[in-house]
């Protein structure tokens, strides 16, 4: 089997190359050929027979051959007629043509299959897409319905909103109305009140007059004896003097109150000033004298130094009593400046501290250093362990991976090989099938040939007997003309037969193998039958032919 493969594959490939060549040539050919090729049905022997019998009969064999020739030439095949002999058929080219046609057919079939597959695929795709389309359409419908529903709801809500707005408006109007009513009522009420009060006042006045002016004797005070005033003074007469005195006293009271308040404020101010002063002093003490002070001095010059001195002087003579504005301003200004300085200083210090902090930390953390080291050691150990772990894992992975790679490549190769092999086996199977068929047909053919040979023999014998009889009986030449044509015809046919046999013997077995199995033997058999039929009444070609067939068979089997 292996031998077979090795032999057949290159041949096939060469053939296929040829086919490619042809096909590349044929690509230019008009579409009619393609249609013809496509028109060729997958031949089942019966159909074949009927088809060909319809196409070619004994009467139109020449025409059909010529037609075929024409067709083939138009398709770019070499002429099936032998160039030199005019009407003679070139069997080799016919067979080549046929083979190529068959190859083409095969190829086309395959292409068709592919196309069909693609078509199927596309069909299924189409179906899928159509399904999708249908689904999407449904979804669209659904969404549309939803949209409609939502729109409806929106509309409802909007109408509700409108209603609510309306309600709100009415409520507002109501409120407005009520407010108006309230205000009108209030004014009315106030008005009525005033009226009533006036009336009441009038009544009071009247009552007053009535009650007071009657010289009511009852209105009286009975006292045993008048008591002295609480302060021991005697009651004074009311005069302008007393009025002025009262006024004076009132103002005195007010003044004393204000004075008291001012005193309180003064005390408060003094306290605050004291605090300020103290703050200032402390700030000055706090601030590093070498940095800020000269700067400030240089900047402010006299302005700062003078008030300080002044304050210093004032301080001695109890400046708190002098709440002079200039002093206050100077004090607040200087305090502000100092404060700004202090702030800057503190900020600077903060910065320094934050900068130094890291350094100091290390210095400070002497005790925790051991811990730190221990911790680092531990961590390092852990890292080491982890690393090792990772390494082993990597190794394991690599171990797993590397054979896997080889395997995969091998597997892939194997796969390819297997595929190839399967393909080949498939082909081989096909080929064997073809071969079987072929052999079957050949067997039938040889049988037919043997039969034909036998018949021919019988015929020859009959003819011999008949010729002898003729020859013996024929004394006179009254039927000479008839005798001339027949031998010629016989001779021609015999030649033809010979040639045919030769060609068959010359045919290469691989060609036959590679070519389409069904059509070729049929045609050959046809030819043979035709020949036989045409030469049925003629002399058979001879016994050598069947032997040749057998020989070729033998070659094949070898």
Partner 1 sequence: MRKVPRPPSLLGGRSQGRDTEDSSAFVLGAQRTGEFSDTDVPVTALGPPGWLLCSPASCVQYRLVVRDARTLQILQLYTCLDQIQYIEWSSDSLFILCAMYKRGVVQVWSLEQPDWHCKIDEGSAGLVASCWSPDGRHILNTTEFHLRITVWSLCTKSVSYIKYPKACQQGIAFTKDGRYMAVAERRDCKDFVSIFVCSDWQLLRHFDTETQDLFGIEWAPNGCVLAAWDTCLEYKILLYSLDGRLLSTYRAYEWSLGIKAIAWSPSSQFLAIGSYDEKVRILNHVTWKKITEFEHPATVASSKTIVYKEVEKSPSVETERLSFPPTRALASSLFSTQSKYDVSQVPVSLQHIKPVADRANPKMGIGMLAFSPDNCFLATKNDNIPNAVWIWDVQKLKLFVVLEQLCAVQSFQWDPRQPRLAVCTGNSKVYLWSPAGCVSVQVPMEGDFQIVSLSWHCSGDSVALLSKDNFCVCYLEREEVK
| Binding residues among 307-366 for partner 1 as defined by CB under 8 A | none
204 is a contact residue toward partner 1 (CB under 8 A)? yes
Phi, psi angles (nearest 5°) of residue 391 = -60, -50
DSSP secondary structure string for all residues of 348-363: HHHHHHHHHHHHHHHH
Q: Which of 104, 99, 94 is nearest to 40 (CA)?
A: 104
Q: How far is the CB of 269 from partner 1 (least distance, A)?
A: 14
Q: Does 478 bind partner 1 (CB under 8 A)?
A: no
Minimum CB distance to partner 1, residue 329 (Å): 23
Which residue in this structure is represented by tokens 């008291």?
A: 260
Binder among 28, 54, 219, 366 for partner 1 (CB under 8 A):
219
The residues, any chain, with a CB within 8 Å of residue 9's CB and separated by 6 or more, are: 424
Which two tokens mark 535? 């030469």
213 binds partner 1 (CB under 8 A): no
CB closer to partner 1 out of 216 and 422: 216
400 binds partner 1 (CB under 8 A): no
Nearest to 4 by CA among 444, 432, 499: 432
**Rounded to an integer, what distance in angstroms lies between the CA atom of residue 434 and that of residue 287?**
116
Binding test (CB under 8 A) with partner 1, winner from 1, 54, 227, 367: 227
From candidates 2, 86, 228, 359, binder to partner 1 by CB under 8 A: 228
Partnered with residue 89 across adjacent β-strands are 81
Residue from 125, 146, 171, 247 that binds partner 1 (CB under 8 A)?
247
Among 141, 146, 171, 243, binds partner 1 (CB under 8 A): 243
- Asked if 272 touches partner 1 (CB under 8 A), the answer is no
Q: Which of 156, 188, 201, 399 binds partner 1 (CB under 8 A)?
A: 201
Binding piece for partner 1, criterion CB under 8 A, among 192-200, 356-364, 526-534, 546-554:
192-200
Cα distance between residue 140 and residue 151, in whole Å = 16
Q: 426-455: string of b/e by CB count within 10 Å (b at 16+)?
A: eebeebeebbeebbebbeebbebbeebbee
**Cα gap 308→173, rounded to integer Å:** 72
Q: Please identify which residue in 224, 302, 366, 472 interacts with partner 1, judged by CB under 8 A.
A: 224
CA 217, CA 331: separation in Å to the nearest integer?
A: 75
By CB under 8 A, is residue 218 in contact with partner 1? yes
236 touching partner 1, by CB under 8 A: yes
Smaller CB distance to partner 1: residue 230 or 484? 230
State the nearest-atom distance from the C-beta of 320 to partner 1, in Å: 21
Among 254, 349, 411, 417, binds partner 1 (CB under 8 A): 254
Q: C-beta of 240: minimal distance to partner 1 in Å?
A: 11
Residue 220 or 302 with smaller CB distance to partner 1 = 220
Q: Choose the binding region for partner 1 from 131-139, 214-222, 367-375, 445-453 (rule: CB under 8 A).
A: 214-222
Stretch touching partner 1 by CB under 8 A, among 160-168, 218-226, 294-302, 546-554:
218-226
Of 231, 405, 406, 482, the one binding partner 1 (CB under 8 A) is 231
> Is residue 302 a contact residue for partner 1 (CB under 8 A)?
no
With left for phi above 0 and alpha for psi between -120 and 50, is residue 76 left, alpha or beta? left
**Rama region for 207: left / alpha / beta (φ>0; ψ in -120 to 50; rest):** alpha
Determine the size of the site formed for partner 1 (CB under 8 A). Answer: 40
| 80, 97 contact by CB (below 8 A) | yes
Stretch that binds partner 1, among 67-75, 200-208, 329-337, 457-465 (CB under 8 A): 200-208
219/484 with CB nearer partner 1: 219
CB 69 within 8 A of CB 79: yes
Of the candidate residues 46, 85, 229, 316, the single one contacting partner 1 (CB under 8 A): 229
Angle separating helix axes 325-364 and 240-286, nearest 10 degrees: 30
The C-alpha torsion from 311 through 312 and 316 to 318, rounded to 10°, is 20
Q: Which of 115, 178, 181, 212 binds partner 1 (CB under 8 A)?
A: 212
User: φ and ψ at 159, to 5 degrees?
Assistant: -65, -40
In the complex, minimum distance from the CB of residue 205 to partner 1, in angstroms, rounded to a whole number: 9
Q: Pull the structure tokens for residue 352.
A: 């320094």
242: contact with partner 1 by CB under 8 A: yes
Alpha carbons within 13 A on the beta-carbon side of 119: 6
How is residue 526 written in tokens? 């046809």
Element (H, E) at 496: helix 480-506
Determine if 175 is a binding residue for partner 1 (CB under 8 A): no
Query: What's the first-to-final CA gap in the chain, in angstroms?
Result: 13
User: Minimum distance from CB of 181 to partner 1 (Å)?
Assistant: 15
Residue 81's SS3 state is: strand
Query: CA–CA separation, 481 vs 476, rounded Å?
Result: 13
Q: Which of 61, 140, 148, 207 binds partner 1 (CB under 8 A)?
A: 207
Binding site for partner 1 (CB under 8 A): 193-194, 197-198, 201, 204, 207-208, 211-212, 214, 216-231, 235-236, 238, 242-243, 246-247, 249-251, 253-254, 257
């Amino acid at each position: 089997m292996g031998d077979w493969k090795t032999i057949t594959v290159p041949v096939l490939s060469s053939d296929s190359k040829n086919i490619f060549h042809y096909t590349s040539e044929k690509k230019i050919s008009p579409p009619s050929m393609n249609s013809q090729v496509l028109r060729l049905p997958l031949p089942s022997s019966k159909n074949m027979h009927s088809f060909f019998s319809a196409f070619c009969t004994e009467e139109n064999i020449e025409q059909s051959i010529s037609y075929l020739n024409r067709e083939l030439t138009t398709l770019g095949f070499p002429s099936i007629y032998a160039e030199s002999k005019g009407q003679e058929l070139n069997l080799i080219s016919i067979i080549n043509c046929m083979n190529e046609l068959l190859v083409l057919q095969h190829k086309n079939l395959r292409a068709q299959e592919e196309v069909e597959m693609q078509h199927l695929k596309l069909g299924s795709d189409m179906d899928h897409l159509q399904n999708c389309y249908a689904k999407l359409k449904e979804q669209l419908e659904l969404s549309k319905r939803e949209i409609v529903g939502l729109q409806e709801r929106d509309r409802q809500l909007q109408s509700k909103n409108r209603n609510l707005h309306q309600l709100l408006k009415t409520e507002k109007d109501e409120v407005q109305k009520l407010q108006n009513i309230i205000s009108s009522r209030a004014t009315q009420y106030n008005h009525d009140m005033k009226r009533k009060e006036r009336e009441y006042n009038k009544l009071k006045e009247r009552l007053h007059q009535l009650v007071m002016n009657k010289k009511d004797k009852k209105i009286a005070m009975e006292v045993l004896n008048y008591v002295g005033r609480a302060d021991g003074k005697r009651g004074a007469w009311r005069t302008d003097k007393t009025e002025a005195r009262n006024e004076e006293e009132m103002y005195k009271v007010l003044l004393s109150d204000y004075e008291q308040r001012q005193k309180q404020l003064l005390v408060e101010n003094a306290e605050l000033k004291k605090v300020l002063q103290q703050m200032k002093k402390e700030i000055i003490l706090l601030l590093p004298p070498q940095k800020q002070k000269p700067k400030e001095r240089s900047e402010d010059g006299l302005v700062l130094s003078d008030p300080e001195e002044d304050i210093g002087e004032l301080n001695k003579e109890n400046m708190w009593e002098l709440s002079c504005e200039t002093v206050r301003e100077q004090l607040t200004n200087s305090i502000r400046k100092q404060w700004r300085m202090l702030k800057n200083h503190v900020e600077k210090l903060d910065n320094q501290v934050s900068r130094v902090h890291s350094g100091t930390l290390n210095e400070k953390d002497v005790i925790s250093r051991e811990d730190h080291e221990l911790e680092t050691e531990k961590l390092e150990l852990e890292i080491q362990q982890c690393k090792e772990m990772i390494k082993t894992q990597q190794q394991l992975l690599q171990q797993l991976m590397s054979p896997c790679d080889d395997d995969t490549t091998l597997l892939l190769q194997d796969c390819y090989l297997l595929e190839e092999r399967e393909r080949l086996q498939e082909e081989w199977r096909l080929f064997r099938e073809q071969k079987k068929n072929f052999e079957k047909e050949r067997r039938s053919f040889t049988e037919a040939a043997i039969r034909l040979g036998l018949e021919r023999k019988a015929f020859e014998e009959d003819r011999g007997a008949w010729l002898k009889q003729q020859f013996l009986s024929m004394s006179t030449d009254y039927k000479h003309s008839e005798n001339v044509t027949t031998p010629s015809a016989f001779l021609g046919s015999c030649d033809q037969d010979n040639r045919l046999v030769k060609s068959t013997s010359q045919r290469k077995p691989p060609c036959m193998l590679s070519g389409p199995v069904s059509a070729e033997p049929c045609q050959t058999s046809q030819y043979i039958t035709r020949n036989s039929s045409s030469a049925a009444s003629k002399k058979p070609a001879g016994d050598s032919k069947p032997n040749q067939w057998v020989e070729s068979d033998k070659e094949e089997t070898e």
